[in-house]
């Protein structure tokens, strides 16, 4: 992270430098917990990566209306990237022979797989898995109510959609272009 990026990120968080530093540290801890809860071995590194990406975006002039929401959105993206990379690793055998995919290739596959889902399914997945931990239960219950489902039925639907997305990622990683 550059000094300029850090300065701009802190200014975005608060006009008061002391408060901005507190918010930065709070976000850093929140991100670390988020990645730990999602079984990421190097949660602190992922949290650093998120803050680095946000700082680069801010330094690049991107207008961010809600910094906390933006940071959490980037965290979800980093988590998806890490999970899709895990899908690409072999379960056994010669790990050294596997070439690690580039981030761009992984994101392209993820975007392709998301685009292959029906719009309603894509929207359900994004809303279901993007809820912040403090609001996750409320948002998911609202989703279930809106769709006329029980919370468990919604959960099962999202798990099936997620499994389809993971299968698509695996097939695309293996070079199968005929994925539906």
pLDDT at 94: 44
Q: According to the model, what pLDDT value does residue 91 have?
A: 44
Looking at beta carbons, which pairs linking 75-80 to residues 24 or more positions away fall under 8 Å?
A: 75/31, 75/34, 75/35, 75/46, 75/47, 75/50, 76/129, 76/130, 78/46, 78/49, 78/50, 78/53, 79/34, 79/35, 79/38, 79/40, 79/46, 80/110
- pLDDT in the model for residue 82: 74
Alpha-carbon span 26 to 45, nearest angstrom: 16
Closest CA to 152 of 131, 137, 166: 137
Return phi, psi of residue 14, to 5°. Answer: -170, 150
Chain centroid, CA 141 distance in Å: 21
- Residue 175 DSSP one-character state: T
pLDDT at 147: 92
Q: What is the pLDDT of residue 95?
A: 46
Q: Show pLDDT as tens, one digit a residue, over the chain (180 residues).
A: 678 778 888 888 888 888 888 888 888 888 888 777 777 777 788 888 888 888 888 888 877 788 778 888 888 888 877 776 554 444 444 444 444 556 677 777 887 888 888 888 888 888 887 766 677 888 889 999 999 999 899 999 988 988 888 888 888 877 744 444
Per-residue pLDDT, 85: 58
pTM comes to 0.47
CB atoms within 10 A of CB 173: 18
Supply the DSSP string of 51-98, one letter for each residue.
HHHHHHHHHTT---S-HHHHHHHHHHHHHHHHHHHHHHS-SSS-GGGS
């Amino acid at each position: 992270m550059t000094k300029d990026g850090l300065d701009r990120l802190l200014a975005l968080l608060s006009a008061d430098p002391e408060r901005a530093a507190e918010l930065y540290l709070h976000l850093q801890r929140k991100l670390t917990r988020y990645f730990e809860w999602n079984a990421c071995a190097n949660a602190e590194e992922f949290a650093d990566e998120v803050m680095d990406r946000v700082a680069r975006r801010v330094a690049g002039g991107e207008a961010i209306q809600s910094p906390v929401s933006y940071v959490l959105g980037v965290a979800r993206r980093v988590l998806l990237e890490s999970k899709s990379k895990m899908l690409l690793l072999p379960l056994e055998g010669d790990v050294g022979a596997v070439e690690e995919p580039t981030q761009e290739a992984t994101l392209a596959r993820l975007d392709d797989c998301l685009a292959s889902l029906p719009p309603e399914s894509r929207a359900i997945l994004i809303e279901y898995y993007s809820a912040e931990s403090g609001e996750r239960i409320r948002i998911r219950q609202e989703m279930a109510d809106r769709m006329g489902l029980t919370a468990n039925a919604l959960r099962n639907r999202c798990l099936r959609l997620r499994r389809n997305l993971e299968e698509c990622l695996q097939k695309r990683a293996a070079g199968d272009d005929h994925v539906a």
